[in-house]
Amino acid sequence: MKPGIHPPYGPVVFRDRAAGFAFLTRSTATSDKTVEWEDGTTYPVVDVEISSASHPFYTGTARVMDTAGRVERFERRYGRREGGR
Protein backbone atom coordinates (compact mmCIF):
# COMPACT_ATOMS: atom_id res chain seq x y z
CA MET A 1 0.00 0.00 0.00
CA LYS A 2 1.11 3.52 -0.67
CA PRO A 3 2.05 5.29 2.58
CA GLY A 4 0.09 8.36 3.66
CA ILE A 5 -3.07 7.93 1.54
CA HIS A 6 -5.03 5.28 3.48
CA PRO A 7 -7.08 5.92 6.63
CA PRO A 8 -5.96 4.18 9.83
CA TYR A 9 -7.16 0.57 10.05
CA GLY A 10 -7.70 -0.86 13.51
CA PRO A 11 -10.02 -2.69 15.89
CA VAL A 12 -13.55 -1.27 16.21
CA VAL A 13 -16.67 -2.56 17.99
CA PHE A 14 -19.89 -2.44 15.97
CA ARG A 15 -22.97 -2.45 18.22
CA ASP A 16 -26.58 -3.13 17.23
CA ARG A 17 -28.51 -1.44 20.03
CA ALA A 18 -31.88 -2.85 18.93
CA ALA A 19 -30.73 -6.47 19.25
CA GLY A 20 -28.23 -6.01 22.07
CA PHE A 21 -25.51 -7.49 19.87
CA ALA A 22 -21.93 -6.31 19.38
CA PHE A 23 -18.90 -7.65 17.58
CA LEU A 24 -15.26 -6.68 17.40
CA THR A 25 -13.61 -6.42 14.00
CA ARG A 26 -11.06 -4.31 12.17
CA SER A 27 -12.24 -1.29 10.20
CA THR A 28 -11.37 2.21 9.03
CA ALA A 29 -14.55 3.53 10.70
CA THR A 30 -13.91 5.84 13.63
CA SER A 31 -15.93 7.13 16.55
CA ASP A 32 -15.53 9.40 19.55
CA LYS A 33 -17.47 6.90 21.70
CA THR A 34 -15.61 4.03 23.34
CA VAL A 35 -16.61 0.82 25.05
CA GLU A 36 -14.73 -1.65 27.21
CA TRP A 37 -14.72 -5.02 25.47
CA GLU A 38 -14.76 -8.49 27.08
CA ASP A 39 -10.94 -8.63 27.07
CA GLY A 40 -10.74 -5.49 29.25
CA THR A 41 -9.44 -3.26 26.43
CA THR A 42 -11.23 -0.06 25.41
CA TYR A 43 -12.15 0.21 21.71
CA PRO A 44 -14.02 2.80 19.64
CA VAL A 45 -17.68 1.82 19.18
CA VAL A 46 -19.90 2.46 16.13
CA ASP A 47 -23.66 2.09 16.68
CA VAL A 48 -25.50 0.57 13.71
CA GLU A 49 -29.25 0.45 13.09
CA ILE A 50 -29.35 -3.11 11.80
CA SER A 51 -27.04 -6.11 11.81
CA SER A 52 -27.28 -9.84 11.20
CA ALA A 53 -28.75 -10.18 14.71
CA SER A 54 -31.77 -8.00 13.90
CA HIS A 55 -32.22 -8.20 10.10
CA PRO A 56 -35.33 -10.24 9.14
CA PHE A 57 -33.45 -12.20 6.47
CA TYR A 58 -30.91 -13.54 8.96
CA THR A 59 -33.33 -14.02 11.86
CA GLY A 60 -35.76 -16.07 9.76
CA THR A 61 -38.68 -13.69 10.20
CA ALA A 62 -38.64 -12.48 6.58
CA ARG A 63 -41.97 -12.75 4.78
CA VAL A 64 -42.16 -14.28 1.31
CA MET A 65 -44.31 -12.33 -1.14
CA ASP A 66 -46.92 -14.25 -3.10
CA THR A 67 -45.85 -13.31 -6.64
CA ALA A 68 -48.50 -15.47 -8.32
CA GLY A 69 -51.23 -13.72 -6.35
CA ARG A 70 -49.83 -10.35 -7.30
CA VAL A 71 -49.88 -11.26 -11.01
CA GLU A 72 -53.45 -12.53 -10.76
CA ARG A 73 -54.50 -9.36 -8.95
CA PHE A 74 -52.89 -7.24 -11.68
CA GLU A 75 -54.68 -9.23 -14.41
CA ARG A 76 -58.04 -8.89 -12.63
CA ARG A 77 -57.54 -5.16 -12.27
CA TYR A 78 -56.19 -4.34 -15.74
CA GLY A 79 -57.10 -7.41 -17.81
CA ARG A 80 -54.90 -9.68 -19.89
CA ARG A 81 -52.96 -8.45 -22.89
CA GLU A 82 -54.34 -9.49 -26.26
CA GLY A 83 -52.21 -11.28 -28.88
CA GLY A 84 -50.20 -13.42 -26.45
CA ARG A 85 -47.52 -10.81 -25.84
pLDDT digits (tens, 9 = 90+) for 6-28: 988 999 999 988 888 899 999 99
What's the predicted TM-score (pTM) here? 0.62
For residue 63, the model assigns a pLDDT of 65
Return the C-alpha torsion angle 75, 78, 80, 82, nearest 10: -170
Distance CA 24, CA 15 (A): 9
Distance of CA 4 to the CA centre of its chain: 31
Answer with the residue of higher pLDDT: 54 or 42.
Answer: 42
Query: Is 12 in contact with 31 (CB distance < 8 Å)?
Result: yes
Give the mean model confidence (pLDDT) for residues 54-72: 67
User: Which of these, 13, 8, 20, lies nearest to 44 by C-alpha position?
Assistant: 13
Under a CB-based contact definition with an 8 Å cutoff, are residues 42 and 35 in contact? yes
Rounded CA separation 2/40 (Å): 33
